[in-house]
Amino acid sequence: MSEVTQLINSVRNGEKDASELLIAAVYQELRQIAGSQLSREAAGHTLQATALVNEAFLRLFGSQASCHWENRAHFFAAAAEAMRRILVDHARKKRSQKRGGTSKRVGNVDELTDQEVDLNEILDVHEALGQLADRHPKKAELVKLRYFAGLTISQAAETLGISVPTANRYWVFARAWLLDRIQLRHE
């Protein structure tokens, strides 16, 4: 059992300081993942990885009742989902502001709004990903881990409990499927 899984069990059991120990154990890895993901954005238009990770932690630990992760893989999948939602919320907010909208500010996400990303790409992938998840949930999880959390193929395979060759096949299929759906939207 990994250290992270042991800490997750401690959080679930309500042990004092377990949440802080879990955060300390995974913070650097999540920061690297966020930095890797955000470095792929357009040059000069990156969000702050630290702000993204901090906001993800707020969402993950906002309510002790929500600490229901089973193991390390489940925790990192939940963190990837939190980062995805933050990026999508940020993209929607920025698009609204560009159209003269008056969206209200929400927590630490505001720190992310001072720099641009490709908003349409994030929203296109998010919408197509919902369709992929309906038909191929495991492949959609792989996309979340790769695209939104920035994990490598081998890291995502480990997190999902699948082999690297299977992850590669899922990735090729999912990319082609998503590209097809996104192109259909823009025709």
- Mind listing the pLDDT tens digit for each residue in 77-106? 888 888 878 877 877 777 676 555 444 333
User: For the CA atoms of 78, 34, 32, 141, what is the dihedral angle to 10 degrees?
Assistant: 40
H or E element at residue 184: helix 164-185
State the number of CA atoms in the 13 A half-sphere of 47 facing the CB: 31
Tell me, what amino acid is at 168?
N
Which tokens hold the place of 66?
């929500």
pLDDT in tens, 18-30: 888 888 888 888 8
Q: Is residue 44 predicted with pLDDT exceeding 50?
A: no
- pTM given for the model: 0.63
